[in-house]
Structure 1
C-alpha cells in the first residue's frame, strides 16, 4: 500500500515516516506543500498514485488561533475538505486526524462519537469545520479524534515536564482537566490500519475516537512521567483558573474509544506503555527534552 501523507515534521508525521518498512510513504511538508492553499494540496492528491491519503497536518497553536482564526480555519477546515474531495474523486480512502477540542468538555462522562459538538475556542471551531467538510465529501473516509498527543519529537507535555522536572524540585500542574494522553506512534499505527481497512471496506467510513488510557489529569500525567523517568520532582495540583490562557481548555477530554475497537479491531492504547517507548527514544543520540 502506498500512502500519501500531508505532514513531515509534526509528531504524527515523524512517526508515520518511521513506518516505511511496512508501507510505501510519500510525505509532504511545508517545503513541498502549502497547507494554506487547499486547491494546491488537492492537486497533489490528483497527481499522486497513492492508494490512500493521511492528513497529519494541523494548525495546533491553540492560543494563537484566537488571533489567527482565519488561518487556522483554512489549514484545519478548508484544506482537509479539499483533500477529502480529491480522494473521493479518485475513490481512495482519506484518514483525517481531529481533536477532543470539538467538544465543550462538560461533565465527566467520556464523549461518544455522536455526542453534540460545541467548541470552546477558535482552534476547536477550525477543527470542527474540517470534520464537517470531510463528511460532506463522502466516499471512503475516517475522522480520527485524538487527544493530548505526545512523542519524542517536537514540543509536547512529556518533553516539557522532563526539562522542568530536571531543573526544579516542585511544579504546579493543572489537575481539573481530565483526558487521555496519546502516543503519536500509536496514532500512526491506527491511521495506517484504518486506511488499509477502508480500502477493503469503505462502509467503515465515519468518525472515531482514539485516545490513550486510563484517563488522567495533567498533574497525574506529570507524576507518571517523573515516576518512569526516575525524576524526583513534587507535583502540586492547581485548578485551570490558576493558569489562565487566551483559549479556554475543555475540562473533560475523556473519549469513548469503543467504536474504533469494534469496527477496526484497534484497542485503546495504554499511555504508560507509550510513555515508556518515548523515554527510550529520548535516550538515543540527538534526542533531548524541549
Structure 2
C-alpha cells in the first residue's frame, strides 16, 4: 500500500529537521570547545634551573600533605594538613585567616589569604582555590595535594614579586570538597562563596586548581562523557580548563593565555553543567552564587 501523500511528505521534513538540529548542536560544541591559539605538541622543553627548584618544592609539598588519608573522618590527619598549609603560608609572611565552621560536631576550617591589588584595592576579587581534604581511603596526592602545592608556590611568587594585578587575589584552601560533603552547604568552598556573596564582593573569576598530577601519553588514558571525545585528545597529558557556558569568555582568555606562555598541552571547554565533570570541584558553589 502506498503511504498517504501527507505521510510521504513528512518523512523528508523530519530528516531535514533532524539534520538542522544536529548541525546546530555541532556548531554549538565547536563554539564551546575551540580555544584560541594551539595546544603544545611534541617533546616538552628541558626545565630551567628555576623550574627544577620549583619542581622540588612542589614535590615536597605533595609529600607532606599526602602522608595519610585526611578528612573529617580522619580528623587528626586533616588538622595536620591544615597546620602544614598555615605554616607554609606564614613562613612567606602571610597573615592566614581561619574561616571556621562546624561539621559532625567538629571544628573545620578554610584557610584564606589576600594579596591586595596595588592599583584598585577592594574593587574586584579573583579567587584561586583548592581543597586540602582527601577522599575516603586515599592519601590524596593527586586529589588534591597537587592543587594545594600549586597555590602555596603561587602565593610565594606573588609575595616575592609584589601584587600587580588589577584585582585583589584571594587564595582559598578549602576543606570538605570530597564526598559525602560535595554538593552540600558543608563544602568549604560553599561556605566561602556564600560569605563573599553576603559581603557583596565583586568576584570576577574563580579558579579551582584540582587533580593536576595525573599525566599519561598512553592512548585511551583520557575518557570523556558523551560526544566530547570527538573534540579532545585520547591521551591524558594536558591541563584542562573547564567552565560553564556563562564563563566562555573567561575560559577562552585563560586557555589562550596559557597556550601562549607555557610550552605544555592545554585544552578548554565552557560546557553546560549537565555534562558530567563540568562542575565537579570547588568552582561549583561559585557558579551557584552567580
TM-score, normalisation: structure 1: 0.28
Larger Rg: 2
